[in-house]
Structure 1
Amino acid sequence: MEFSTIEIEKAATILKLLGDKTRLTMVKMLDTNDYCVCEFVEIFKVSQPAISQHVRKLKDAGLVRETRRSQWVIYSLNKESDVLPFVQSLIDHLPKQDFKLQELEQQGLRISCE
């Protein structure tokens, strides 16, 4: 199968986006769970504005979507994204990141947004 220039450009954009370790880890984490920004702040030990910027880039690329639950904004993988099959083929080769969520729960820092 031959890729068109647009598809190659889109793939290059996505690969550049996921070339950042934090964003790549976020996408892998979102493959199995939804997260709030404050949970990402605790997990990655960086500021809320920095996390928000990472999430915004993933949202702009169509990989991540947000859902409001009262005052919380919950992020999840956008299952309708046209690039998700491409990204899924990459993240399927990465080790699970569920331990990060388990560590949050053990520290009592898992957010309950219900």
Structure 2
Amino acid sequence: PPQRPIDHLCRPGITVQTIPIKILGYKSSQRYPIWRTLQAAQRALEKEHPGLHLDIQEVKSTDEILRYTPVIAFPSLMVDGKLVCVGRFPNRDEILDWLNKAINEKIPGLE
């Protein structure tokens, strides 16, 4: 059977945790740098959170982008349903902070 994107995470003792991500940008040149930075942030979190899966969706349609933000000339980013960055390219440390907040909100008892 074909492998699903998270099959490599399904091992004994590993809890898979999916965080939905939306990269909002109608040009691929806007989305790609953010996608690469997201991948770098995920790699940085792998040891502490080996079951972390980022479900990255690229939002390309201006109509759909306008549902979340009026800014379409530059990229924006949503993490776990929250608009966290508008009209600029976030750095890895910012993305790490947003991902850690999303992880902590999903795990009961962590703050």
TM-score normalised by length of structure 1? 0.24
Structure with the higher fraction of residues in strand conformation: 2
Structure with the higher fraction of residues in helix conformation: 1
